[in-house]
Chains A and B, each alone.
Chain A
Amino acid sequence: MTVVGTPPPALPVRDKGAGRALSPMLTRLAEERATGVLVREHGVLHLAEGRVVHAESPLAPGLDVLLTAHGTLAATAWQQAAARTTGPLLAAELLLRSGVLPTGALELCHLDALYDAGYFALAPSSTPGRFRYDSTPRLGPLPSVPVVALERETLRRRLLLHRLWPDPAADTAPLIRADPAAGRAPANPAGPTTPATQAASATPVTPRQRAVLDRVDGVRTATDIARNLGRQAFHTLVDVRRLTAAGQIAPLPTAPSAPPPPPPLGQVTTDPDIALLKRLRDALEAL
């Protein structure tokens, strides 16, 4: 009798009807075909004529890491290109012109890095973004991406992670190995702790997940692991959420802090609008 693990949910398809924009400012900048740099809390987007030509985030490994981690490009070759240019995008263009890398490989890595950093740059933030009009970014030989395409892909990626495991805590916290046999809640939070849980725990770890699992040490976060592996951060998050759902890893519990002061009685829940919004939120989260 073969134990069949819970199959991961299907990759989501973008809902074209949903005209949600992640950043109204970005939508406006795309409409006016702006050129400049958008600085947000978790990353930076470089726009040329309203298209994203480059993205950077401290949470995603850059093109340099992706290219040098596995020896595709010698670290010294990147450093030389970077020293002769102003910024990673121009360094990549220099590498393209010099022909040290196949065009397809460089385009592919560039797009990988752009969508990866863009995902974090467009993450919900607690501070408003700032746009600086700047004529430096331009449409170059490497592919650029329409703002709308990056926004829609980012939303789709959020949905994909949410379907794998709805709690985002493991995305940012240091990760620890968990004992799958200890019986964590199964991927379906409504499910009971029954043989189904054990079956989920017995889901084989794929080779790519094994590489992530081997680097979980109680200190590294998903971003650290991505950088260590020279792998896209979003790809790492997919495996982190799946390993979390399988009970293989868990976010390091944060030290208990002083309990928050109790909310003023009768202020929050009696507001019919707030109560309705909360019920809506709970219902949406339960989907």
Chain B
Amino acid sequence: MTPRYVHVFAFIALLLAAAPGRAANPLVVEAALDREVVAPLLAAFELAHPDIELDFRDRSTLQVDERVAGAGPAPDVVISSAMPWQMARVNEGYASRLDSAEARAWPEWAKWRDEVFGFTFEPIVMAYRLDLSRHMMPPATHADLHTLLTEQWELLHGRVTTYSPLHSGVGYTLFQQDARYTTRFWDLVAAMGNAEAVLEANTRDMLEGISDGRYWLGYNLLGSYAMVWAQQHPEVIVQVPQDYSLVMMRMAFIHRDAPHPAAARQFLDFLLSREGQRVIAGETPLFSVRPDVIGPYTAQRLRDQVGDRLYPIPLDASLLAFVDPQRRDAFMQRWRREFERR
């Protein structure tokens, strides 16, 4: 968004703000996105749009999903990393189209129907504690991990952590995607079950466990959080898998029944704008999608570092299969069967 447009929007917003009985322009964002991580982005938005009173509600993915269709006033903007659930909501018609220059220019692979936009580019990583490397060669690929879990299961017993597919939408999605690539994934699940891996509901808990020494090895962590954590906690090493690395995108859409659609459009436009993406790339670890943005955290830089092994979870209708109840049941059944095999 060019500054000129910002001024126009600000002017319109001011006009709206001048309406009697309304001091400011509220905007409700329901997000499965840590406030601490995204704080610079929100600050930049508030600076660019001082007239909008941003109400950012940080929740879990499943809570966010409930809010979309729940009773009570609808949120203006919905952000979540649980991609299949976001996609299902859009398919149900809960999103309204964003018709703006930013939306049109957004890369095809990171949007659907111009209604929902993947605005971050977060690699999925493994993380291990330095202690691990004293005992064994740390894993660099999925196969390495499997080998370690089978060969060193006694040493790793109870010291491996990963997402709970039952309690985390992100975790479930990642495992589904893993299972799509290879059936050997189930051997990995069985091996993790054998090592009595601990299932956590979010990346933060896993990272804390690793820092505390409870865990030595974590699988399928959000790279965005892990990389920041590793900078502050030198005992934690982040490993981008060398065979393939999934990439997750936060998906944002404007709610169909948004009470403040104009503000919602401004917010989304800001997320997609060069300015917003520049903040994402420079001040958050969320990685910018835009190729024209330069900073430490950009999809382009990640590609340069990791190579072609990045496999973004496709943002298309195939995601809907993951939320199919029967398919989910079947997956969870299999998961349980493999995980609890012993």
Instruction: Decide if A and B are genuine partners.
Output: no
A interface residue numbers (CB < 8 A to B): none
B interface residue numbers (CB < 8 A to A): none
